[in-house]
Amino acid sequence: MNIKLVAAKLHTDLETGLTREERQRRLRAGANILEREKTNVALVFLSQFADTMVLMLLAATLVSAVLGEFADALTIMIIVILNSVLGFIQEFKAERSLEALRELAAPMAQVLCFGEVKLLPAAELVPGDIVFIKAGDRVPADLQIFDTVNLEIDESPFTGESLPVAKDEDSDKPYAYMGCLVTRGRSKGVVVATGMNTEMGKIAHMLGKAEQQPTPLQRRLSRLGNTLVVICTVICLVVAAAGVLRGEPLYKMFMAGVSLAVAAIPEGLPAVVTLCLTFGLQRMLRRNAIARKLPAVETLGCATVICSDKTGTLTENRMTAERVYADGKVFSLTGEELKQNGAWEQELTWLLTLAAVCNGAVLQEEGKGTTVIGDPTDGALLMAAAKAGLARGRLLQRYQLLKEHPFESRRKMMSVVVRDVETNVGYSFVKGAPEVLLSRCSSVRGQRAETERICGQWAKEAYRLLAVAWKECKFAPANQQQAESDLVLSGIIALKDPPRPQVPEAIRRCLQAGIKPIMITGDHRETAMAIAERIGLPVGPGGVVTGQELEAMSDRELEEKVSLFSVCARVYPRHKMRIVQALKRRGHVVAMTGDGVNDAPAVKEADIGIAMGISGTEVTKEAASLVLADDNFATIVAAVEEGRVIYNNIRRFIRFLLTCNTGEVFTMFFAILLGFPLPLRAIQILWVNLVTDGLPALALSLEPGGEGIMEQPPRPREESIMARGMGTDIFTTGLFIGVLTLAVFAYSLAGGQPLMYGQTMALATLISIQLIFSLDCRKNEDGKTSGIRSNLWLAGALLVSYGLLLLVLYVPALRMVFGTVALSLRDWGIVIVFSLLPLLAQSFLRRVRAKRVRR
């Protein structure tokens, strides 16, 4: 159907789009989203009970209820439910924050609203909207396309055909379908269908729910968990059987065995890890890094190389055109001098006209000033032209656009073919990287050698350079090649793009943390070198390597040399891929940034793919595991730091949880072996579990980073979570805790005191030891820790947990239920002294170890 007819049918204007009221009205009819299955809250809750041990415990409770032990049965029920609620909250919170993250990374669309180009969330599109799509975008809704420029779309989601198809408004099907990828060119389109009414919507039910894959760490942990389940089950069976043999009632021993299993098996571990990762995600978010995939958070901490684009990541991407070289003269474009110059030389006016017409950006007047929509390089040129009174809008009335070849990183230039309506002459206007353009110029005003000298000199001053050229031609030159050859050079423009102020410090921290930063840029060698110097990036023994040199190297050679350089200039997107692969083969864990559509493969190949939130294309964002909300290099370094913090925290609470559980198991195990009565009753074991495993473990995952975290080299990726002696430490400390608890139990009974008193002492000691031991888990490997004020969560968790212990000791009703007695001050003295012992032992051992290392 003719595009005008479509517009008329949808009551929209191709030049201005829908009116505000009309958009609002249509938006109410439904958002442009594909409905996916939501997480079912009830299911998440019920899944907490779907654990064999918990089910066995509930069965045992039922039995004891039948046998008349109502109070016991009820309490166990309540504790199990409380535990499940805790697990549920953790899982739900994790799920929620992941969902919120997904929404944060939601795509945007360029829309024509009441005559202005606006950036809106794609979810707010309505039928009749006029949208702009360009290479790298996902088509945001079903569109009927018009005003296409070299448009190519990958329709593989529908056709399975992986080669992109060229499309224009005269095609058979002049549509761009939601979810397809624009691989080249650009176009406008009228939205004809949104949300579930799109072609994609019709097959959306096949997409199902977006599942989060478990991270490698989670997978390893669940394997560890399985092993522990087996070990614990065996021990619990032994404990129960030994008890029965000694004449304890069967159901009581069964209950004790199962309770011990429930308490000791860390079934919640993967969930706590997820929660810890999502807490980390939120902290990263506060520092402007959006992690799209959980595994990335883990890998971040192991990064050994960060490959970064220059423009926009290391620099501000706020460009200004400062100088022009044209017709053998140098002009300054900065404010004051401009005014003094007064008259604009003809050559300069012509050059700025070319630059403004051969341009892909749009200037938008807003309250405070002018903003650029589109490429900042192009924007800077528009600004410079506007200063000289050359508004693109007016220029286009004279130079009618006939054909456009947009900028592509691999060509490093852009061109347009226009018709001068006043003289009826056809022109080709071209701009691009000076070396590339100079080689296509047959005539250079001023001298070629002088032009090259100026380019070299300006590049050394860190300017980004652009050559502008033109030629007369037929209205429709046969192809792009023709439009971009045999040109006349008009001049050179120097653009300034200062380094971001936070970057030098970030580079310093990288180097200190044993991470190698590499700058990869499409810009000139000298420009790259000058910027590297300004941000304190050591160029490396290999010097600056250029795309051309990379091209000449074989994969083998590249692999050998890749460690030698840290600045790559005049690089094409395909080189990024080779650099990543070479680095990976050398055993590096590589983080790689990208923005353009051609960067997506390299970003995907990297261990940590990073996309730009502001200037990046949708495809790169989708391929990336990390998106920088502020496009800033310093944010990558912050994310790496958070990655390390998160990993350390996971180790902290694993150490805490497993040590405590081992302690509980040993307490029971030894008691049975030595022929003691049971030191803890079933409900008491469950209470210990509730009091210690929940809040303190969670609080440990909120531990701040500590000073030294970026002073250590990256950890090896394959390192086990139990590495650096943690497994042995867990075993020995657990053993120690078991022995101490049992010692208190035995001592309390020695004076002929009732069993209840001994059990209460054991309960208080076991809980107290664990709570105090959580303070040791805060410490870094070197034994250093910041004051408790830096983790008030843990302080709070300890208070609440001690409160819970006091509750069962001093509330008479609970005392009845839990079979405890009130402890005296003297008793507490014993409990506290014993609780401090593991902490002191750890400090002592650390000192001994440090001494040995020093020797």
Interface residue with ligand ATP, options 431, 588, 655, 681 (CB under 6 A)? 431
Is residue 365 within 8 A of residue 116, CB to CB? The reply is no
**Binding ligand ATP by CB under 6 A: which of 201, 432, 613, 696?**
432
Q: How far apart are CA 57 and CA 75, in angstroms?
A: 12
d(CA 710, CA 514): 8
Pick the closer one to ligand ATP by CB: 228 or 455. 455
Minimum Å distance from CB 436 to ligand ATP? 8
- Binding segment (CB under 6 A) for ligand ATP, from list 210-218, 405-413, 558-566, 746-754: 405-413
Least Cβ distance, residue 531 to ligand ATP (angstroms):
9
In whole angstroms, the minimum distance from the beta carbon of 708 to ligand ATP comes to 32
Give me the least distance between CB of 513 and ligand ATP, in Å please: 23
- Rule CB under 6 A: say whether 150 interacts with ligand ATP: no
521 strand-pairing partners: none
DSSP state of 138: B
> Within 13 Å and on the Cβ side, how many CA atoms surround 650?
28
SS3 assignment, position 326: strand
Strands 142-154 and 130-134: unpaired
Going by their DSSP bridges, the two strands 289-291 and 399-408 should be labelled as: unpaired
Half-sphere exposure in the Cβ direction for 290 (13 Å, CA): 23
CA atoms within 13 A on the CB side of 132: 20
| The pairing of beta strand 413-420 with beta strand 130-134 | unpaired
Please state, in angstroms and rounded to a whole number, the distance separating the CA atoms of residues 181 and 156: 9
Examine residue 451 and tell whether it contacts ligand ATP (CB under 6 A).
no
Closest CA to 573 of 590, 592, 559, 553: 592
Report the relative pairing of strands 608-612 and 626-628 from DSSP bridges. parallel
CA dist 530 and 460 (Å) reads 6
Closer by beta carbon to ligand ATP, 579 or else 769? 579
Of 426-434, 635-643, 711-719, 812-820, the segment contacting ligand ATP by CB under 6 A is 426-434
Nearest-CB residue to ligand ATP?
Answer: 522
Among 75, 259, 311, 451, indicate the residue that binds ligand ATP (CB under 6 A): 311
CB of 597 to ligand ATP, least distance (A): 12
Query: Which of 525, 536, 609 is CA-nearest to residue 567?
Result: 525
Q: Which of residues 452-471 bind ligand ATP (CB under 6 A)?
A: 464-466
Helices (H), 434-569: 434-438, 448-460, 480-483, 503-512, 525-535, 547-552, 555-561
- Span of 161-169, 307-315, 743-751, 752-760 interacting with ligand ATP by CB under 6 A: 307-315
Span from 392-400, 411-419, 606-614, 723-731 in contact with ligand ATP (CB under 6 A): 411-419
Output 280 or 609, the one with its CB closest to ligand ATP. 609
Q: Which of 72, 154, 309, 693 is catalytic?
A: 309
Cβ distance to ligand ATP smaller for residue 522 or 714: 522
* In the complex, least distance from residue 6 CB atom to ligand ATP, rounded to whole angstroms: 32
SS (H, E, C) 755-772: HHHHHHHHHHHHHHHHHH
Binding string, 265-304, against ligand ATP, x = CB under 6 A? ----------------------------------------
Which residues, numbered 361-390, are part of the site for ligand ATP (CB under 6 A)?
375, 377-378
Q: Is 316 in the site for ligand ATP (CB under 6 A)?
A: no
State in angstroms the smallest separation of the CB of 419 from ligand ATP. Answer: 21
Nearer to ligand ATP, 91 or 404 (CB): 404
Q: DSSP for 266-314?
A: -TTHHHHHHHHHHHHHHHHHHTTEEESSHHHHHHHTT--EEEEESTTTT
Is residue 413 at the binding interface for ligand ATP, with CB under 6 A as the rule? yes
Minimum CB distance to ligand ATP, residue 317 (Å): 9
**Residue 12 sits in the site that holds ligand ATP (CB under 6 A):** no
Give 174-239 as a DSSP string.
-EE-TT-EEEEEEEEEEEEE-GGGSHHHHTGGGT---PPPPPHHHHHHHHHHHHHHHHHHHHHHHH
- The answer to whether residues 161 and 167 touch, using CB atoms and an 8 Å cutoff, is no
Among 164, 522, 616, 758, binds ligand ATP (CB under 6 A): 522
Pairwise CA distance, residues 592 & 611, whole Å: 8
Q: Which of 298, 309, 622, 642 binds ligand ATP (CB under 6 A)?
A: 309
Q: Are 592 and 615 in contact (CB under 8 A)?
A: no
Q: Are 10 and 127 in contact (CB under 8 A)?
A: yes
Whichever of 175 and 429 has its CB closer to ligand ATP, that residue is 429
Residue placing its CB nearer to ligand ATP in the complex, 123 or 454? 454
Minimum distance from residue 521 beta carbon to ligand ATP (Å): 4
Check binding of 310 to ligand ATP (CB under 6 A): yes
Phi, psi (degrees; rounded to nearest 5) at 377: -60, -50
Binding segment toward ligand ATP, per CB under 6 A, in 19-27, 84-92, 407-415, 580-588:
407-415
Q: What sign for the dihedral angle of Cα 5, 6, 8, 14? A: negative
Q: Is 368 exposed, middle or buried (0-12, 13-18, 19+ CB in 10 A)?
A: exposed
Interaction between residue 392 and ligand ATP (CB under 6 A): no
Size of the site for ligand ATP (CB under 6 A): 21
**Structure tokens, 185:** 């060119």
Q: How far apart are CA 87 and CA 418, in angstroms?
A: 66
Q: Is 168 a catalytic residue?
A: no
Write the interaction track for ligand ATP spanning residues 65-104; mark x where CB under 6 A is met and - where it is not.
Answer: ----------------------------------------
Work out which of 26, 134, 412, 604 binds ligand ATP, going by CB under 6 A: 412
**Three-class DSSP labels, 382-401:** HHHHHHCCCCHHHHHHHEEE
Radius of gyration of the chain (CA): 34
Q: Which is nearer to ligand ATP, 301 or 360 (CB)?
A: 360
| Nearer residue to ligand ATP within complex by CB, 477 or 573 | 573
Q: Is 521 in the site for ligand ATP (CB under 6 A)?
A: yes
Residue 432 CB, nearest distance to ligand ATP (Å)?
Answer: 4
Beta carbon of residue 162, minimum distance to ligand ATP (angstroms, whole number): 25
Stretch that binds ligand ATP, among 195-203, 425-433, 715-723, 766-774 (CB under 6 A): 425-433
407 vs 773, which CB is nearer to ligand ATP?
Answer: 407
Q: C-beta of 41: minimal distance to ligand ATP in Å?
A: 44
Segment contacting ligand ATP by CB under 6 A, of 24-32, 517-525, 752-760, 825-833: 517-525
Q: Which residues bind ligand ATP (CB under 6 A)?
A: 309-311, 375, 377-378, 407, 409, 412-414, 431-433, 464-466, 521-524
Could you list the active site residues? 309
